[in-house]
Amino acid sequence: MELVEAIILAVLAASTPLLIAATGELVTERAGVLNLGVEGMMIVGAACGFAGAWLTGSIFIGALFGIVAGTAMSLIFALMALGLAVNQVATGLALTILGIGLSGLIGAGFVGERIKPAVDLYIPGLTDIPLVGRVLFGENAFVYCSIALIIGVWWFLYRTRAGLILRACGDNHVSAHALGYPVLRIRTFAVMFGGACAGLAGAYLPLAYTPFFIPGMTAGRGWIALALVVFSSWRPGRLVVGAYLFGAVTILQLHAQGWGVGIPSQFMSALPYLATVIVLVLLSRARTGGSTAPAALGTVFVPDR
C-alpha cells in the first residue's frame, strides 16, 4: 500500500506543473490566441521564482516572482501578436528563445544554491487517515492551487457571462467585435492569465519539485503543456485527466529506470516525448468529424474601424 501511495504522490508532483501551465494556455487558446511561448515563460518563471525565494527566504514570494515574470513575458507576446498583428507561431517561438536566454542570465548567479522547498500540508487527524489522508490532505500548496485553478477556469468558462464572451472571441472574433466586445483587450487578459500560470508552473519546479535551479530545467514541459491542451480538446475536465496521465508516464519511466529494467535509461527518458507524439496522432485521427479547436485559434485580428 505504501508503494501505491508513494506512486500517487510522485505522479501528483510531476503532473502539477503540467496542469498549471496547460490551464493557463487553455484560457489563452479559448480566447483564440495560440501562444507557443509557454516553455519560455515557464523557464523565466523558474529562474525568477527561485531568485525570489532565495533572496527573501519565502516560497510564497518566490511563487509571486514567478507569476509576475511569466505575466511580463506574456505581455511582450501580447504586444507583438495582438498589438502589431504579428504571426502568432513565430512570436511564440521568439518568446521561447528569448526566455531560455533570459533565464540563463537571471539564474546564472543562483546555480548551485539550495533553498528549503515548499512544505507539505499537515492537518493533525486528517493527514493521518490511513490510505487517503496523505494523498488528499498532505500535499504542498501548489497542488491544491492547481486544482482550485482548473475548477475556477471551468466555472469561469462555462458558468459566467465573461467566460462566454471570452469563448466567443476565440470562436469568431469578427462577430464578437461586431457585438461591441473589445476583442483585443479580452485576448490580452487571456494571454496574461496564460503567462501568469506558466510563470507559476515554472516557479513550482525549483520551489517544490527540486530545491535548486538548473538552466533548462523545464525540459520541454511547456511544449508538453501545449500538447495537453490539444489532448483535452480545449476542455478543462479532460485537461486534468491528460495532465495526470502524462505525470504517470513520467513517473513510470523514472521507476522503470530505478528497477533496472534492461532498457537504456535514455529510451525511458524519451517516453514522455514519444507518448506526446503518439497521443497527438491518435487524437487528431479520432477527430476527423470536425475540429474541436476554437475556430479563430491563431488567426490575426485587426479591428475594422
Q: Which residues pair with 120 in a beta bridge?
A: 140
Contacts of 69 (CB under 8 A, 6+ apart): 41, 44, 45, 47, 48, 49, 199, 202
Residue range at the interface with another protein (CB under 8 A); choices 61-69, 128-136, 144-152, 272-280: 272-280
Minimal distance in Å, beta carbon 217 to another protein? 14
Q: Does 292 bind another protein (CB under 8 A)?
A: no
Q: Does 74 bind another protein (CB under 8 A)?
A: no
Give just the sign of the alpha carbon dihedral 152, 217, 53, 128: positive
Closest to another protein by CB, 1 vs 288, is 288
Instruction: Out of 112, 125, 259, 288, point to the residue binding another protein (CB under 8 A).
Output: 288
Q: Does 254 bind another protein (CB under 8 A)?
A: no
Minimal distance in Å, beta carbon 60 to another protein? 27
Contacts of 67 (CB under 8 A, 6+ apart): 45, 196, 199, 200, 203
Asked if 74 contacts 41 with a C-beta cutoff of 8 angstroms, the reply is: yes
C-alpha triplet 231, 237, 242: angle, nearest 5° = 40
Binding pattern for the stretch 169-208 against another protein, x by CB under 8 A and - elsewhere: -----------x----------------------------
For another protein, how many residues bind (rule: CB under 8 A)?
Answer: 51
Instruction: Out of 267, 292, 295, 299, point to the residue binding another protein (CB under 8 A).
Output: 267
Q: What cell does 35 get?
A: 501562444
Instruction: Out of 4, 6, 55, 97, point to the residue binding another protein (CB under 8 A).
Output: 97
Minimal distance in Å, beta carbon 178 to another protein? 10
The closest alpha carbon to 50, from 221, 220, 214, belongs to: 214
Q: What cell does 115 get?
A: 533553498
State the first-to-last Cα distance of the chain, in angstroms, to the nearest integer. Answer: 65
Instruction: Out of 11, 38, 95, 205, point to the residue binding another protein (CB under 8 A).
Output: 95
Instruction: Out of 2, 159, 285, 289, point to the residue binding another protein (CB under 8 A).
Output: 285
Binding pattern for the stretch 33-62 against another protein, x by CB under 8 A and - elsewhere: ---x--------------------------
171 burial (CB, 10 Å; 0-12 / 13-18 / 19+) is middle
Q: CA-to-CA distance for 182 and 176, rounded, in angstroms?
A: 8
Q: Does 124 bind another protein (CB under 8 A)?
A: no
Q: CA-to-CA distance for 130 and 37, rounded, in angstroms?
A: 42
Minimal distance in Å, beta carbon 188 to another protein? 14
- Binding residues for another protein, rule: CB under 8 A, are 36, 76, 80, 83-87, 89-91, 93-95, 97-102, 104-105, 108, 180, 215, 219-220, 223, 226-227, 230, 264, 266-267, 269-270, 273-274, 276-277, 280-285, 287-288, 302-303, 305
